[in-house]
Amino acid sequence: MERVLVFGLDSAPPELLFSEFIDELPAIRKLIENAVYGPMKSCIPAITIPAWMVMATGKTPGELGLYGFRHRKAGSYTDMWIANSRKIAEPAIWDYLAMEGKKSVLVGVPPTYPPRKVNGWLISCFITPDASVDYTYPAELKNEVEGLVGEYIFDVVFRKDDRDEVKEKIWEMTEKRFEVARYLIQEKDWDYFQIVEIGLDRIHHAFWKYFDREHHLYEEGSKYRNVIRDYYRLLDREIGKTLELLDDDVAVAVVSDHGVKRMKGAFAINQWLIEEGFLKIRNPEVLEKGRAVKFEELDVDWGRTTAWAWGGYYSRIFLNVEGREKNGTVGKFEYERVRDELADQLRSIRGPNGEKWDTKVFYPEDIYPVALGDRPDMMVYFDDLYWRAAGTLGHGTNYLAENDTGPDDAVHSEYGVFMLSHPELDSRRVNCSIYDFAPTILKIYGIDVEMRGERVI
């Protein structure tokens, strides 16, 4: 093994890639014949950003200071910043390789926008606004990309009712991305190559209710029932065509940042915080209008508020702390007591039919060696992530049948996939962690860096 090519499939779960669909995926199946492979536990939170950069650096989200896509500016009730490449201070696999003079090609690895200098070539990821901006390193690579496939596609709008358009755009995006990858494989002199395809995540979110018979919104006989299966076949064809270009010295990895499972619904966390007395507002009449109300529409009485929350696949909850927030109410010496009491109440929330939930509450300082940047006070997985958090209010119930920010049928699960294939390897199943990826890949190049993860080969 002298070089490594990584296929990153955002949100691929082991139960589909390695089991349910494997007989229809000849390229993946062939890779498994000489692979160390198995489920790979993601980081907390199991979210695209920061998970891909956790994988690349071996650092925790706390060490990276990345807890998701958006972050609250410290001490602010309303200001936020969006994760981007400039926030990454820790060296990634390709940085260690560059120190050895080795070159990398990176396509779509989150978060790599704005494009930063690498020892090689880079096309930025799904957070890129559109193809009108500079999205490559070096800048002239953009001309090569667009000369090959025309306008490059970074992502698609997937939370929309026109599923035909969603499907068509995802297919186009994926085919273009793999065509560009194959061009770069052949035209560039590389030692490490990583492509991340966001399309699988989008397919899961947009089409899961047509695929999963246990989904509460399952549609029997839908024309979309095979879209997810067909997309896995597309990925396998694209991977197969790409593998034909590789020499025998190339090890091939297939990995995902997290898994996926059906969404049971969304829980209106801020509405619940009001009911429980943690969040106080001066304009309760806004919640009586029969529509979803954004948090920004509330006239929050910050001088009487203890906590507020953000929605998403997991919820971030912030305490209103004296000396930290402008109108903080939680004193320094009561912080732990208040947080523990709120955490206990969150864990005791039951489902819409009184069923017990497996809700997990995480304190950043408990799960990371350090928690840098603008961290939340706690992170919540409602019912083991089966229920996403709705940040909006004004709903007739705290339990929403659908996502409050647009159609979305799936949520994240904690286990993605890991596979490292090479003719020298015997097929062997492993259970590994997302922290194992970086030290394992660096070992192939003979680079020994002290990291928390284990080398799985």
pLDDT in tens, 364-379: 999 999 999 999 999 9
Among 299, 312, 327, smallest CA distance to 376 is for 312
Q: What is the pLDDT of residue 27?
A: 98
The least confident of 102-106, 123-127, 287-291, 318-322 is: 287-291
- Read off φ and ψ for residue 343, nearest 5 degrees: -60, -40
The pLDDT confidence band at residue 1, using thresholds 50, 70 and 90, is: low
Strands 104-107 and 192-197: what pairing? parallel
d(C-alpha 112, C-alpha 322), whole Å: 36
Taking residues 218-238, report their average pLDDT.
Answer: 97
Q: Are 36 and 425 in contact (CB under 8 A)?
A: yes
Among 257, 237, 143, 181, smallest CA distance to 5 is for 181
Q: What is the pLDDT of residue 407?
A: 87
d(C-alpha 177, C-alpha 409), whole Å: 25
- For residue 83, CA distances in Å to 80, 98, 112, 148 come to 10, 24, 10, 30
* Residue 265 Rama label (left phi>0; alpha psi -120 to 50; beta): left
Taking residues 180-189, report their average pLDDT.
Answer: 98
Among 345, 428, 417, 357, smallest CA distance to 386 is for 357
Task: Report the DSSP beta bridge partners of residue 344.
Answer: none
Q: At what angle do helices 141-149 and 163-187 cross, to 10 degrees?
A: 120
The pLDDT confidence band at residue 275, using thresholds 50, 70 and 90, is: very high
- For residue 420, CA distances in Å to 10, 35, 230, 322 come to 16, 5, 24, 50
Q: What is the pLDDT of residue 405?
A: 86
**Residue 345 pLDDT greater than 70, yes or no:** yes
d(C-alpha 434, C-alpha 412), whole Å: 15
- Read off φ and ψ for residue 121, nearest 5 degrees: -140, 145
Average pLDDT, the chain: 97
Among 241, 261, 317, 269, smallest CA distance to 11 is for 261
pLDDT in tens, 201-217: 999 999 999 999 999 99
Q: Are 325 and 77 in contact (CB under 8 A)?
A: yes
**Residue 222 pLDDT greater than 70, yes or no:** yes
**Residue 156 pLDDT greater than 70, yes or no:** yes
- Read off φ and ψ for residue 24, nearest 5 degrees: -105, 10
**Cβ–Cβ contacts within 10 Å for residue 334, how many?**
14
Length of the chain: 457
The set of residues, in sequence order, having a beta carbon less than 8 Å from that of 406 and lying 6+ positions away, is 159, 160
Among 398, 20, 52, smallest CA distance to 211 is for 20
Strands 265-268 and 399-400: what pairing? antiparallel
The set of residues, in sequence order, having a beta carbon less than 8 Å from that of 213 and lying 6+ positions away, is none
Taking residues 57-78, report their average pLDDT.
Answer: 96
The pLDDT confidence band at residue 290, using thresholds 50, 70 and 90, is: confident
**Residue 186 pLDDT greater than 70, yes or no:** yes
CA 413 to chain centre: 10
